[in-house]
Amino acid sequence: MTVLNNTVELPDRRIPPELVPETIVETLEPAERDELRARIKRLLKEQDAVLVAHYYTDPDLQSLADETGGTVSDSLDMARFGHESKARTLVVSGVRFMGETAKILNPEKRVLMPDLAAECSLDLGCPADEFSRFCDQRPDRTVVVYANTSAAVKARADWMVTSSSAVEVITYLMQKGEKFTWAPDKYLGQYIQEQTGADMLIWQGACVVHEEFKGIELADLKRQHPEARVLVHPESPASVIEQADAIASTTGIIRAAQEMRAKEYIVATDKGIFHKLKEAVPGAVFIEAPTAGRSATCKSCAHCPWMAMNTLRKLARTLETRGNEIHVDPRILDRARVPIKRLLDFAESRRKTIYGANDA
């Protein structure tokens, strides 16, 4: 149990290791890979579909999205891109909450996913019914949730934020005298609280990938690579964040690497992002931040096992069968759109684009 503000105990909401699936590694011969890629390109065109892929998915899927007029980004930007696209079908290569977000912002479009079982530990650790009861008991608090939540949790929230917009939104609301209930990531919540001094009750969830990064081993690795710059996602533990040269969202990490112009980077986020990092900074060396060593062993080992469920074979099968469609209850959908729209309107009012600011 975690005690906050000396008054409220919040239970641990991290999912147990036995519920984390084994990571899928799709092994393809070159001929099969080429055939699948060609088939998927044909099916996307025939079905007036666009592929939107998250930074953490397989490089083959990211390349396909780029090559077919889609996009590779974070969940909010994926949904925004889908809204602006004229395509009638969105194929979301990512995890389930990303498909739901795309459907919330694009209710008139068909939204498909390669695998509907591709979940998120943050989402799973924040059941909507339990979270709603918790919020109902504290009606004086503004409910702010991270993008990595289900449509039902978003429907209970007042605001949704991304990792790069959270501090700015919380600061703005603090100026209005508001106190907060935050969910689901405890490390991101603690980071926001440290940056703003906000009165926050923090749901005790965690990302299975980012929680495994280890401060002791990171310090050792930095000694081995003294010239390397350290890029950290704020879903990571404080012992990792405090060693960062840049603390940023997925898109922010890529931008930081471009701006720093270092020869080596140690990266504390899902290693799926290395594909775009290497494109953005050719010739630089990217090193995975340690997830195991003297103090621990890793389960995810810097790659989300649910993101790994997105494969070329599954994508081709989904397009062929037109299955794995995302549906969101219309009553939930309308309510879930409210906190998302508040974030988008907030960004617009400041003439600041925060698309490309989230992480899963």
137-146 residue pLDDT tens: 999 999 999 9
Question: What's the pLDDT at 297?
Answer: 65
Helices (H), 110-237: 121-124, 128-136, 151-156, 166-174, 186-196, 215-224
Query: What is the mean predicted confidence (pLDDT) over 254-269?
Result: 97
Helix, coil or strand: residue 253: helix
Helix, coil or strand: residue 254: helix
Helix, coil or strand: residue 104: helix
Q: Write the pLDDT tens digit of every residue in 29-80.
A: 999 999 999 999 999 999 999 999 999 999 999 999 999 999 999 888 898 8
Has residue 24 got a pLDDT over 50? yes
Is the CB of residue 247 less than 8 Å from the CB of residue 230? no
Determine the Cα–Cα distance for residues 115 and 347; give it in Å rounded to an integer. 32
Which of these, 207, 273, 209, 259, lies nearest to 229 by C-alpha position?
259
| Global confidence as pTM | 0.92
Question: What's the pLDDT at 351?
Answer: 62
Question: What's the pLDDT at 296?
Answer: 57
Residue 310 amino acid letter: N
Question: What's the pLDDT at 298?
Answer: 73
Long-range contacts of 173-177 (CB under 8 A, 24+ apart): 173/142, 173/144, 174/198
Sort 252 into a burial class: Cβ within 10 Å, 0-12 / 13-18 / 19+.
buried
Q: Residue 19 — pLDDT band, cuts 50, 70, 90?
A: confident
191 against 8, higher pLDDT: 191
Has residue 292 got a pLDDT over 80? no
Is the CB of residue 185 less than 8 Å from the CB of residue 13? no
Task: Provide the percentage of residues in the chain whose pLDDT is more than 90.
Answer: 82
Q: Write the pLDDT tens digit of every residue in 71-120.
A: 999 888 898 898 899 999 999 999 999 999 999 999 999 999 999 999 99
Question: What's the pLDDT at 295?
Answer: 54
Question: What's the pLDDT at 9?
Answer: 61
Strand 110-112's sheet: what is its strand order? 71-73, 49-54, 89-93, 110-112
Residue 21's contacts (CB-CB under 8 Å, 6 or more residues apart) are 305, 306, 309
Which of these, 71, 73, 56, 74, lies nearest to 358 by C-alpha position?
74
Is the CB of residue 185 less than 8 Å from the CB of residue 10? no
Task: Provide the percentage of residues in the chain whose pLDDT is more than 70.
Answer: 93
Question: Cα separations (Å) of 188 from 163, 167, 195, 256, 270?
Answer: 8, 10, 11, 19, 16
200 phi-psi bin (left φ>0, alpha ψ -120 to 50, beta other): beta
Q: What is the mean pLDDT of the chain?
A: 92
Is the CB of residue 151 less than 8 Å from the CB of residue 128? no
Long-range contacts of 222-230 (CB under 8 A, 24+ apart): 222/266, 225/264, 225/266, 225/287, 227/262, 227/263, 227/264, 228/262, 228/264, 228/265, 228/266, 228/287, 229/256, 229/257, 229/260, 229/262, 229/264, 229/265, 229/266, 230/265, 230/266, 230/268, 230/289
Q: Residue 354 — pLDDT band, cuts 50, 70, 90?
A: very low
Has residue 6 got a pLDDT over 70? no
Is the CB of residue 163 less than 8 Å from the CB of residue 188? yes
Determine the Cα–Cα distance for residues 282 and 276; give it in Å rounded to an integer. 10
Q: Give CA torsion, residues 182, 187, 193, 194, to 10 deg.
A: 180
